[in-house]
Chains A and B, each alone.
Chain A
Amino acid sequence: MTISIFSTSKLSIFGLCVFALNVTANPTNPDFNALWLEVDSFRKEAGIQGHEWRDTAKILLGARKEFKVGNNEKAFVLLSKARAESIAALAQAAREKKSWERRVIK
């Protein structure tokens, strides 16, 4: 899967809205698993681009654990944190593709 910066940011805004709606509309039974998979796919894509952050995978695992034991609120807090990290990592990847070269010592 390759997402361009444009579609990534569009996707993320869309995703964020859906996410917020889900959480507020029905806090006890939003589709956690689908959202989790989506965030994990963002994390993976950041990884493919060499920009995954250190703790994102751990946070995602934590989110799943909390959900399993019924701590839904905590699970969603972690999920949204992982989501923010993945999206920021993807944005960093896109930004760096253009800016790293400026730092080369000439």
Chain B
Amino acid sequence: MKKLVFLITGLTVALYGTILFAEPEAEQAAFKSYFHNKFPDVDKPDFINGVYALDSNAREQWMEIEEFPPYEIAIDEGEALFNNTRFTDGKSYSHCFGTGQHLRKKYPYFDKERTQVVTMELAINDCREKHGAKPLKYKIGDLAKISAYLSYHSRGDVIDVIVSGPAAIQAYNKGKEYYYTKRGQLNFACVDCHVSSAGKRLRTEILSPSLGHVSHFPVYRLKWGSIGTLHRRFSGCNSQVRAKSQPGQSEDYRNLEFFLSYMSNDLEFNGPGVRR
């Protein structure tokens, strides 16, 4: 009898597990094939290049900019910050991140102990605070530069976000809800601009597809005249629709990054990038 109860419990848990996991996986497949079908001429790996995968004129201009990329200074400055910073306890970033090579692909991940999504930017400030240093600003400045340096040394690595276990699935679902929810006075959701309208023109800009959106951050934007993190971009897109934006690394933005990164699994990291 005991054995039977055991078996049934085991089977139920296993079944529950597959149902829970099945959804993100199926949603990822549907998300990708939507874009693959919408843009059959775009090579699948090319989605990491955003709007430049869709528009040949824009691509040409971008390739020219890439010859002397404006994010190069940020990489150098980030390298110096990463290697030369000494915390008051005598430790450095390498105590948290080793050499800093191939680090980007570890993030974002769901930390089961903290029951929250940890992004690379969050981990940088966690490291600082662990060693008695003040946290850096999340959207701009030194943190974005360190992120640029680390991303640069992860180029070519593959996005491989794992969504496993009920708590991680909950974070994924929250990110998904954020993505699909209309906000702001203009009543737009991310999906309205970056899925159904991807490839269309909005004023002077062509809308990029969400597939591959996370691959190339941080980004040097010519409009900003500086390098900024993914969450800076999120808040820009919130403001555009006249919704109140959130602070960098808010729980919503981390869940959103988790969801979006999972949607882009198997694509390559190619940060930092440059955009108009």
Contact = CB atoms under 8 A, between A and B. Distances in A.
Interface stretch (B14-22, B67-75, B237-245): B237-245
B30 A106 contact: yes
Contacts of A55: 185, 242
Interface stretch (A11-19, A27-35, A70-78, A97-105): A97-105
Interface string A78-106: 00000001001000100010011101111
Contacts of B176: 104
B142 to A, nearest CB: 27
A100 B31 contact: no
Interface of A: 47, 50-57, 85, 88, 92, 96, 99-101, 103-106
Nearest to A53: B185
A105 B185 contact: no
- Count chain A CB atoms within 10 A of each CB in B31, B181, B238 and give the residue with the most: B181
Contact of A105 (B195, B244, B245): B195
Interface of A, helix, strand, loop or mixed by DSSP: helix
B189 A51 contact: no
B252 A103 contact: no
Interface string B246-260: 000000100000000
A56 B184 CA distance: 10
Interface residues of B, number: 25
A52 B244 contact: yes
B180 A103 contact: yes
A54 B184 contact: yes
B244 A53 contact: yes
A100 B177 CA distance: 7
Interface string B22-37: 0000110011001000
B243 A52 contact: yes
A85 B53 CA distance: 38
Contact of B242 (A53, A99, A101, A104): A53
A100 B182 contact: yes
Contacts of A54: 184-185, 238-239, 242-245
Contacts of B182: 92, 96, 99-100
A30 B184 CA distance: 30
Interface in B178-196: 178, 180-185, 187, 189, 191, 195
A88 B245 CA distance: 17
A89 to B, nearest CB: 8
Given A101-B180, A104-B180, A47 B34 contact: no
Nearest to A99: B182
B245 A92 contact: no
A88 B183 CA distance: 11
7 contacts: A50-B252, A54-B243, A55-B185, A85-B185, A105-B191, A106-B27, A106-B30
